[in-house]
Amino acid sequence: MRIIAGRWRGIRLVNVGEGDTAAHLRPTPDRVRESLFSKLNHMRVLDGALVLDLFAGTGALGLEALSRGAASAVFVENGRVGQRLISENISKLRAECQTQIIRKDATCLENWAQDFFDLVFLDPPYGKLMGQAALEAVRSQLKPGAVIVWEENTFMLPPKGFLICDQRRFGETYMTFLELDN
Protein backbone atom coordinates (compact mmCIF):
# COMPACT_ATOMS: atom_id res chain seq x y z
CA MET A 1 0.00 0.00 0.00
CA ARG A 2 1.38 3.36 -1.02
CA ILE A 3 0.45 7.00 -1.52
CA ILE A 4 -0.62 7.20 -5.15
CA ALA A 5 -0.22 10.89 -6.05
CA GLY A 6 0.66 14.32 -4.74
CA ARG A 7 3.55 15.45 -2.59
CA TRP A 8 4.07 12.01 -0.97
CA ARG A 9 3.60 10.08 -4.22
CA GLY A 10 5.12 6.60 -4.11
CA ILE A 11 5.83 6.50 -0.38
CA ARG A 12 4.92 3.10 1.01
CA LEU A 13 2.70 3.05 4.07
CA VAL A 14 3.11 0.63 6.96
CA ASN A 15 2.49 -2.91 5.76
CA VAL A 16 -0.64 -4.62 7.08
CA GLY A 17 -0.51 -7.55 4.68
CA GLU A 18 -3.99 -8.65 3.70
CA GLY A 19 -5.49 -6.71 6.59
CA ASP A 20 -6.54 -7.74 10.06
CA THR A 21 -10.04 -9.22 9.98
CA ALA A 22 -10.25 -9.35 13.77
CA ALA A 23 -9.61 -5.60 13.85
CA HIS A 24 -11.86 -5.09 10.78
CA LEU A 25 -8.93 -3.73 8.77
CA ARG A 26 -9.42 -4.02 5.02
CA PRO A 27 -7.05 -1.58 3.35
CA THR A 28 -8.62 -0.01 0.27
CA PRO A 29 -6.59 -1.35 -2.68
CA ASP A 30 -4.41 1.12 -4.62
CA ARG A 31 -6.50 0.76 -7.79
CA VAL A 32 -9.73 1.55 -5.92
CA ARG A 33 -8.11 4.55 -4.18
CA GLU A 34 -6.83 5.78 -7.55
CA SER A 35 -10.37 5.70 -9.00
CA LEU A 36 -11.83 7.26 -5.87
CA PHE A 37 -9.40 10.17 -5.91
CA SER A 38 -9.87 10.68 -9.63
CA LYS A 39 -13.57 11.19 -8.89
CA LEU A 40 -12.79 13.55 -5.97
CA ASN A 41 -10.42 15.58 -8.17
CA HIS A 42 -13.20 15.89 -10.73
CA MET A 43 -15.56 17.09 -7.95
CA ARG A 44 -12.93 19.67 -6.87
CA VAL A 45 -13.21 18.92 -3.15
CA LEU A 46 -9.60 18.21 -2.20
CA ASP A 47 -7.78 21.58 -2.33
CA GLY A 48 -7.69 23.03 1.17
CA ALA A 49 -10.27 20.53 2.46
CA LEU A 50 -10.73 19.69 6.11
CA VAL A 51 -10.97 15.89 6.03
CA LEU A 52 -12.61 13.52 8.49
CA ASP A 53 -11.62 9.85 8.14
CA LEU A 54 -14.11 7.70 10.13
CA PHE A 55 -13.22 4.07 10.91
CA ALA A 56 -9.81 5.16 9.61
CA GLY A 57 -8.01 1.80 9.82
CA THR A 58 -4.56 2.61 8.42
CA GLY A 59 -5.37 6.24 7.64
CA ALA A 60 -4.56 5.71 3.94
CA LEU A 61 -7.58 7.62 2.63
CA GLY A 62 -7.03 10.70 4.79
CA LEU A 63 -3.30 10.66 4.11
CA GLU A 64 -3.87 10.38 0.36
CA ALA A 65 -6.17 13.42 0.61
CA LEU A 66 -3.43 15.36 2.43
CA SER A 67 -0.90 14.36 -0.21
CA ARG A 68 -3.25 15.74 -2.87
CA GLY A 69 -3.83 19.14 -1.26
CA ALA A 70 -6.21 18.80 1.68
CA ALA A 71 -5.35 21.17 4.56
CA SER A 72 -5.82 18.77 7.47
CA ALA A 73 -7.19 15.37 8.43
CA VAL A 74 -8.78 13.99 11.58
CA PHE A 75 -8.66 10.20 11.91
CA VAL A 76 -11.26 8.47 14.08
CA GLU A 77 -10.36 4.91 15.05
CA ASN A 78 -11.16 2.97 18.22
CA GLY A 79 -9.09 -0.15 17.48
CA ARG A 80 -5.61 -0.34 18.94
CA VAL A 81 -4.12 -1.94 15.82
CA GLY A 82 -5.58 0.78 13.61
CA GLN A 83 -4.49 3.55 15.98
CA ARG A 84 -0.92 2.23 15.91
CA LEU A 85 -0.90 1.97 12.10
CA ILE A 86 -2.27 5.49 11.68
CA SER A 87 0.33 6.88 14.10
CA GLU A 88 3.15 5.09 12.28
CA ASN A 89 1.93 6.30 8.88
CA ILE A 90 1.60 9.90 10.08
CA SER A 91 5.09 9.73 11.54
CA LYS A 92 6.50 8.19 8.35
CA LEU A 93 5.08 11.10 6.32
CA ARG A 94 6.00 13.70 8.97
CA ALA A 95 2.39 14.92 8.87
CA GLU A 96 1.88 15.49 12.61
CA CYS A 97 1.10 19.20 12.18
CA GLN A 98 -1.75 18.45 9.75
CA THR A 99 -3.33 15.51 11.55
CA GLN A 100 -5.15 14.46 14.67
CA ILE A 101 -6.16 11.00 15.88
CA ILE A 102 -9.39 10.63 17.85
CA ARG A 103 -9.39 7.35 19.78
CA LYS A 104 -13.16 6.85 19.99
CA ASP A 105 -16.01 4.93 18.46
CA ALA A 106 -17.05 6.79 15.28
CA THR A 107 -20.72 6.25 16.12
CA CYS A 108 -20.42 8.24 19.37
CA LEU A 109 -19.08 11.63 18.27
CA GLU A 110 -21.39 14.53 18.99
CA ASN A 111 -20.15 18.14 18.84
CA TRP A 112 -16.54 17.22 19.50
CA ALA A 113 -14.62 19.10 16.81
CA GLN A 114 -13.73 22.75 16.56
CA ASP A 115 -13.82 22.72 12.76
CA PHE A 116 -16.45 21.84 10.19
CA PHE A 117 -15.45 19.25 7.62
CA ASP A 118 -15.58 19.44 3.80
CA LEU A 119 -14.83 15.78 3.05
CA VAL A 120 -15.62 12.61 5.00
CA PHE A 121 -14.34 9.10 4.37
CA LEU A 122 -16.69 6.56 5.93
CA ASP A 123 -15.39 2.98 5.86
CA PRO A 124 -17.17 1.05 8.64
CA PRO A 125 -16.89 -2.69 9.22
CA TYR A 126 -18.96 -4.22 6.42
CA GLY A 127 -22.50 -5.32 7.17
CA LYS A 128 -22.64 -4.01 10.75
CA LEU A 129 -24.93 -1.02 10.02
CA MET A 130 -22.50 1.39 11.72
CA GLY A 131 -22.24 3.87 8.84
CA GLN A 132 -25.66 5.46 9.36
CA ALA A 133 -24.97 5.94 13.09
CA ALA A 134 -21.57 7.49 12.38
CA LEU A 135 -23.04 9.91 9.83
CA GLU A 136 -25.70 11.00 12.31
CA ALA A 137 -23.05 11.44 15.00
CA VAL A 138 -20.99 13.86 12.87
CA ARG A 139 -23.77 15.62 10.95
CA SER A 140 -23.46 18.81 13.02
CA GLN A 141 -19.70 18.94 12.23
CA LEU A 142 -20.16 19.00 8.44
CA LYS A 143 -20.14 22.08 6.22
CA PRO A 144 -23.15 22.54 3.93
CA GLY A 145 -22.35 20.68 0.72
CA ALA A 146 -19.79 18.41 2.42
CA VAL A 147 -18.93 15.31 0.39
CA ILE A 148 -19.10 11.90 2.04
CA VAL A 149 -17.50 8.80 0.51
CA TRP A 150 -19.13 5.72 2.04
CA GLU A 151 -17.38 2.41 1.43
CA GLU A 152 -19.39 -0.76 2.16
CA ASN A 153 -20.16 -4.21 0.79
CA THR A 154 -23.30 -2.87 -0.93
CA PHE A 155 -24.59 0.49 -2.12
CA MET A 156 -25.91 2.45 0.85
CA LEU A 157 -29.05 4.55 1.21
CA PRO A 158 -28.36 7.91 2.83
CA PRO A 159 -29.96 9.15 6.02
CA LYS A 160 -32.38 12.04 5.70
CA GLY A 161 -30.60 15.27 4.78
CA PHE A 162 -27.97 13.61 2.56
CA LEU A 163 -28.17 13.29 -1.22
CA ILE A 164 -26.64 10.57 -3.39
CA CYS A 165 -24.24 12.10 -5.95
CA ASP A 166 -22.86 8.90 -7.41
CA GLN A 167 -22.42 5.19 -6.72
CA ARG A 168 -19.62 2.99 -8.02
CA ARG A 169 -18.64 -0.63 -7.67
CA PHE A 170 -15.06 -1.85 -7.56
CA GLY A 171 -15.15 -5.66 -7.27
CA GLU A 172 -16.59 -6.37 -3.82
CA THR A 173 -16.25 -2.73 -2.76
CA TYR A 174 -19.20 -0.39 -3.22
CA MET A 175 -18.77 3.37 -2.88
CA THR A 176 -21.65 5.72 -2.35
CA PHE A 177 -20.86 9.42 -2.79
CA LEU A 178 -23.13 11.62 -0.71
CA GLU A 179 -23.49 15.33 -0.21
CA LEU A 180 -24.91 17.07 2.83
CA ASP A 181 -28.08 18.78 1.64
CA ASN A 182 -27.93 22.54 2.14
pLDDT tens digit at each of 182 positions of the chain: 889 999 999 999 887 755 555 555 667 777 888 888 999 999 999 999 999 999 998 999 999 999 999 999 999 999 888 899 999 999 999 999 999 999 988 888 766 666 799 999 999 988 788 899 899 888 888 999 899 999 988 888 888 889 999 999 988 888 999 998 86
Q: What is the pLDDT of residues 113-145, one digit of tens each?
A: 667 999 999 999 887 888 998 998 888 889 998
pTM over 0.85, yes/no: yes
Q: What is the pLDDT of residues 77-90, one digit of tens each?
A: 998 888 999 999 99
Domains of the chain: 41-180 (3.40.50.150)
- Whole-angstrom CA distances from 136 to 54, 121, 161, 177 are 12, 14, 10, 16
